[in-house]
Amino acid sequence: MYRLLKSAPQVFMEYVKDFSRYLKYSGTLDGTPAQNLLARITATYHNIEKGLSLPQPRLGFGKENLSNLIEAIHKYQRLYGPSHPVLSSAIEVLATYASYHETHNYPDYPCKREILKMLAARPQHPAQMGGTRLVTRERIMQAVSPVSEQFFLQRHSIRAFSNREVDLADIEAAIRVAQKSPVVCNRQSGAVHVIADPELIKAALDLQMGARGFSHAVNKLLVVTVDLRNFWQAGERNQGWMDGGMFAMSLIYGLHLRGLGSCCLNWSKTNRQTQQMRELLGLQQWESIIMLIAVGHIPEQVVVPFSSRKDPLLVTRVITKWQK
């Protein structure tokens, strides 16, 4: 009972601080700040992209999304300037939407006049920025055929590294892999802070307190964060942790693909400790820390925990009939 009375107020206060921070930096109260607005533009244009990628898109679909997107683009241009990569992607989605309807002899699609006016004023880009693209099953299978389940089963948490220097190019390649991670409405909130300075690595790991016994061997330390400004409303209050977790997992497999060893170091900390890490690394207040990842080259032989996994049948439930 004593433990409950002691810990409950602490947990409550941490939730209050989380609530206040989410309300302050997310787009829940005001979508005008630049990043809040860009996140809404991205989410809205991606809704149109998803509609265009359906097997048989309904002609004239998306009137509300189109209107909201055009309004948001104009607002951003008015407040922050005429160009941004997100705007280029959004306008190319509008171009794909217009082209789809014209190809299908449906000239009276929603917001036609506003779309054509926006397309006439857009700058040209040599590479595709948005819309849809056609992929084949053959190409996908060619990409996955060299990969077996051993790629996943031979990934281990490594806590002993060689003295070999980790090339930043390998980390950048792993980040490119992570950027393909599934993410809500293509908002891409994940970021990676790469610490290369040994003294700063030590200071960060001292704060994390989970790398005792091998912190001295860590060659690079990655701090994965997500941007709270990309979310809004009550339903997305935890979305950053989901997106950030998937981003981090993809990053780890990207490191594995480059032959690098890694060890996830959780960030289950209080707001006070998180603020200490922000100040140490120069992170922004709207950045939520998902985890730290220790990185190094794998030695010729290394001891790893057995880490027994549950039988898949114990964690699988197949629903064959709706129980009304």
* Domain locations along the chain: 32-131, 148-297
pLDDT of residue 47: 97
CB atoms within 10 A of CB 146: 7
What global pTM score does this model have? 0.93
Digit-coded pLDDT (tens) for 7-65: 888 999 999 999 999 999 999 998 789 999 999 999 999 999 999 999 999 999 999 99
State the Cα angle at 7 between 6 and 10, rounded to 5°: 105
What are the residues whose beta carbons fall under 8 Å from the beta carbon of 69, sequence distance 6 or more?
41, 44, 45, 48, 90, 93, 94
Digit-coded pLDDT (tens) for 154-180: 999 999 999 999 999 999 999 999 999
CATH no. for 148-297? 3.40.109.10
